[in-house]
Amino acid sequence: MEYLNKKKGFLGLDALHKNNSKVIVVPFGLEKTVSYGGGTKKGPMEIIKASHQVELFDEELNKEPYKEIGIKTLKPFVIKKEIKKALDQLSNINKKIIEKNKFPLVLGGEHSITPGSIKPLIDKFEHLTILHFDAHADLRESYQGEKFSHASAIKRCLDFSNVSVVSFGIRNLSKSEMDFYINNRERIKIFWGKDKNRYDISIIEKIFKDKTVYITFDVDGFDASVMPATGTPEPGGLFWEDVLPIIKKVCQVSNVVGADINELAPIKNFNSYNFLVAKLAYKILAYTFEFKN
């Protein structure tokens, strides 16, 4: 695998940093099934570009987390044209990362990346719990004739028998998705967007305690007022202050083994949205490795 260096990678860090890197950032701008607004293929590099403006000191943790983590960023590469082949390509990349005992952070691209991203983790761990932030349940069997659609991302993850999902911020789904959820509550827990002011962190702690966890964050989980730069923005969503306590608590009580952030569709000259995603990515890594031990 080839890496970006000389200030071109995530956070503007040299890949040859003296610390042994624990994280590999994978830019994977897959855009095959977007059904409303486009542009997600540009998301990864805009996130990386914006990350160069993120302050490396974390005032909450009172440290510069990157120094203890070590981060390398893969050089951009050609993504396979056919979606199933693209997902297999991502699976193979993450398999190599995991075999090196590194943490994969995949920057999408559309949400259809997630089942490909988790495949090597499914093979490695007895059970995987997905922490899922999104406006949409993504539980359709298929959408517009494509079973690997972004609207089917979580359904495809649940095709693996050793996966369960805990979703936050959901506020838009179809009748068929609701039926599937009702019939599979032993594997799916939804914290609805409308109830965000009543989320109980102690319940969240119990759900995730001692679990092996993968984080998938569709940026339309954020309220459309702070994140319009996505293909399917939705009102009534989560804010920064809603999201961070959940991620922090999950990182404190579980073993987070990988993550992806997806569905950023950059808007020219509106860099604040790219910056928000870049800071979110750094915060996920900071929390993950702060509590690893």
Q: Give the 3-state DSSP-derived string for 35-104, with helices as H, strands as E and coil as C.
A: CCCCCHHHHHHHHHHHHCCCCCCECCCCECCHHHHCEEEECCCCCCCCHHHHHHHHHHHHHHHHHCCCEE
Mean pLDDT score, 202-226: 98
> What local confidence, expressed as pLDDT, does residue 33 receive?
61
pLDDT at 32: 72
Say if residues 60 and 66 touch (Cβ distance below 8 Å): no
In the chain, domain spans: 10-290
Task: Give yes or no for residue 105 having a pLDDT over 80.
Answer: yes
pLDDT of residue 15 exceeding 60: no
Model confidence at 87, pLDDT cuts 50, 70, 90, reads very high
What is the average pLDDT across 69-91? Answer: 95
State residue 13's pLDDT score: 77
The CATH class for the domain spanning 10-290 reads alpha beta
pLDDT for the residue numbered 146: 84
Give 223-278 pLDDT, tens digit per residue.
Answer: 999 999 998 999 999 999 999 999 999 999 999 999 999 999 999 999 999 999 99
Of 34 and 137, which is predicted with more confidence?
Answer: 137
What value does the mean pLDDT take over residues 111-123?
97
The tens digit of pLDDT for each residue in 38-79 reads 688 999 999 999 999 999 999 999 999 999 999 999 999 999
pLDDT for the residue 10: 96
pLDDT above 70: percentage of residues in the chain: 95
Question: What is the value of pTM for the model shown?
Answer: 0.95
For residue 20, the model assigns a pLDDT of: 79
Q: What percent of the chain has pLDDT over 90?
A: 87
Q: Is 86 exposed, middle or buried (0-12, 13-18, 19+ CB in 10 A)?
A: buried
